[in-house]
Amino acid sequence: MNLWFRLLLLLFRRPWRKPVDGLATTVIRMRVWPLDLDFNRHVTNGRYFTLADVGRMDYVLRSGAFRVALRNRAFPIVGDTWGKFRRELKLFEAFEIHTRMLGWDEKWSFVEHRFVSKKRVVGVVVMRGLFRSAEGTIPPDDFVREMGLAEHSPAMPKWLTDWSKSCEDMSRQLRSEEGLSDSIRS
């Protein structure tokens, strides 16, 4: 219920939020609520990923990516996420989520969410995702061109391209294991 309330609030405020360039950083402000906490009385690790979804929704709406998705009858798919937690967020603590596009390759777009409280980064979530229509995956170059951005991605840090390669390697491994488990069942 907590997430739905936050999404509705985000949509309600949308008319007053200014559109941004696709490479701009969007910022939303939130507060830690009791349903965000784990047994240690701080934001549970999994909640950061859920809150990042809210930050990403704000980015998609304000950057115009949702219009491109609607024109293409496409929907977003999260492929992989990664998180780094530096400090805890406690009950009723105010924080911000700073969301920005890090770049894209031939298949994936990479979005970063920085959780900031008291001018300190307390956590980072990085998402690798894409937009898919009935015809298949929309190449990020085409998607960002429709958003009014240059076709070529900004330079991405090595750790990000290495992480993406590791995700691809793991996907290949999981697909090969699926074939093995199918043959074992037969």
pLDDT tens sequence across 15-69: 667 888 999 999 999 999 988 898 989 999 999 999 999 999 899 988 989 899 9
Q: What residue ranges in the chain does DSSP mark as E strands?
A: 26-31, 75-85, 94-104, 109-117, 120-133, 136-137
Q: Where are the domains of the chain?
A: 2-154, 156-186
Tokens of 139: 């190449």
Centre a 10 Å sphere on the Cβ of residue 7 and count the other Cβ atoms it contains.
14
How many alpha carbons fall within 13 Å on the CB side of residue 51? Answer: 29
CATH (residue range 2-154): 3.10.129.10
pLDDT (mean) for 94-103: 97
The pLDDT value recorded for residue 36 is: 86
How many alpha carbons fall within 13 Å on the CB side of residue 113? Answer: 28
**% of residues, the chain, pLDDT over 70:** 88
